[in-house]
Every structure is written in C-alpha cells, then in structure tokens.
Amino acid sequence: MADDPVFWLGPLSLLRALPSPALGSGPHATPVRVGGTHRTLNGTPTVDVLGRKRTWVLSWPYLDAETFAFLDAIDAGTLADTPLWLIDPARPNRLPEQTASGGSARRSTVSFTPVGSTDLSYLAGTVPTGVGLPLGGGLRFMRPQNGGQIITGDRPPVLAGETVTFSAWCRGLAPVAVFVTFTSATGTALGTVESPSISLGGRWTQVAVTATAPDTSGPAVTCAVGVNTTSPLPPSYVFTTGWQLESATEPGPFAIGGGAAVVVIESLKVSYPLPGSYAAELTLLEV
C-alpha cells in the first residue's frame, strides 16, 4: 500500500510500486521556484515567484529487469497518452500545494470550484489560531439559502483498496460536511463518501471523513474532495483552509501537499553491473 515508504509511478491504469532507491545516494526531491530576482537602485531584492515545481532523482545500483523494462517503456513514450503520476511517500498530503493551502500558495481560488454560488474568494488571514497551520489565508464562500459546495478539480491517485482520510478546517454558522468522490481510470464514477454534518457554531473545526477506495480491476482510482453545506438556512459565509488527503484512518499533522504529482521523465541513465541487472538513475520533472 501507499503508506509503505516506496515511490509509486505510472499512468493510473498501470501505477506500480518502485523498488526502494539506493540508500546512499537519495532519493532527491528538489523544489525549484520559477520566477526572477530584481534589485532596486539601493540593492534591495525582490523575488517574483510564478510557481514551484519539483525535480526527483531516483537511483538504483541493482534494478530488476521487469522494473527497468517498465521505466524504459515510459521513457520511450510507448505508453498511452495519459498523465504519468508519481506518489512521493515523504509527503503525506496527496493534494497539490494550492489546494492544500486553501489558496494560499497562489493567493487565489484557482483549483477550487463553487457550486450553488459564485461568491468564492481567497481571504488573507483566514486561518485558525493555535493549531500551527503554516498558511497565510483560506477561502470564503457565501453559501446560498439551500446550501452549496466547494469542490477541487484536482484528482490525485488513490490505490485500489487503500483507506484515505480527507480533512479540512472550517468555520461558519451553518453545518458543514466534507466528502471524497472516487472515479476509475476510465472515468466511471465509483461513489461518494461524506462525513456527518457538523455544526460549527462560528468556531474553527477540523472536519474529516475516512473512506476506502473501491477495489477495482485497476491498481488505482482518482479522488476528488470538497466541502458541503446543504442545510436550508439563511445565506452566510463559510470559511475553510488546511485541506489534507492522506493514506490514514484519521487526520494526521498538516503537511503542505504535493504527495502526488503529474511528472515527465527528463532522463533515464543505465549501466549493466551484472548480467540481467541494471544500475539506473531516473530524473523526473513535475508538470
């Protein structure tokens, strides 16, 4: 399962665990901020950050022939034109950084979709106090009279049969629930699991739901998450931030996200230390 300390790589329909990389030389995961540094006339620097993408380097002194053939096929481009997913075991939160941070990464509502109302905005300072969330703000959603939802368009992979927990910090006057929706590699809806509605009473509360991904014929499914408020109450604001999707039976400490990413292979270096064995170094770039 994905809670084992191994990387998973492949298209959703062929996602597979990779052997543990060499202990002495990695793995390496380097985040690279895209942007530029400018200086004023007195030398004061200003850093413009357009985004942050990671580079992974995985190396194996002895790699079995079957795994090498799989990596070689990806590098050669012979697989179907579908996203190539990587699950990084060192990052427990499968959601992207923008989603996990409640919009704080880009100071915007990009990657979130409101349902029932178009009044969704990023608000600086929308963070619960006393829980140590390393975030600058969160989302403010005007729920209509009959309720509404905030859904993320991100659908990270979850292994078939894997138990995951989605949690989100929420504040408002109306009851709130959170949910996960599973979809197969071919786009077939596999069901939604929703938590009980919790009355927040205007206080920040961590709302969570635990679900097991359907054990389909494929190795993995995708998982969309969201916040739901459906009670027929007068319109009011709901605030939320600190979203986390993790392989666990209960919420763990908050992590900034990035545990699953779409990647491309930059290079696959190989040598032949022994007959039938391969020494390989794989470099992956986040899309």
Q: Tell me: the pLDDT tens digits for 47-60?
A: 888 889 999 999 99
Arithmetic mean of pLDDT, 112-123: 96
Model-level pTM?
0.93
Evaluate whether the domain defined by 97-255 bears CATH number 2.60.120.260: yes
Locate 251 and state its tokens: 């919420």
d(CA 39, CA 280): 42
Whether the per-residue pLDDT at 281 is higher than 60: the answer is yes
How many CB atoms neighbour CB 233 within 10 A?
A: 15
Arithmetic mean of pLDDT, 123-142: 96
Whether the per-residue pLDDT at 217 is higher than 90: the answer is no
Whether the per-residue pLDDT at 128 is higher than 90: the answer is yes
- Within 8 A by CB and 6+ apart from 17, the residues are 4, 6, 7, 8
What is the per-residue pLDDT for 3? 54
Q: Tell me: the pLDDT tens digits for 227-272?
A: 999 877 889 999 999 999 999 999 999 999 999 999 999 999 999 9
Whether the per-residue pLDDT at 23 is higher than 80: the answer is no
Helix (H) or strand (E) holding 65: helix 65-76
Arithmetic mean of pLDDT, 276-282: 92
Percent of the chain with pLDDT over 70: 98
CB 212 within 8 A of CB 139: no
- Distance of alpha carbon 239 from its chain centroid, rounded? 20
Q: Tell me: the pLDDT tens digits for 265-277?
A: 999 999 998 888 8
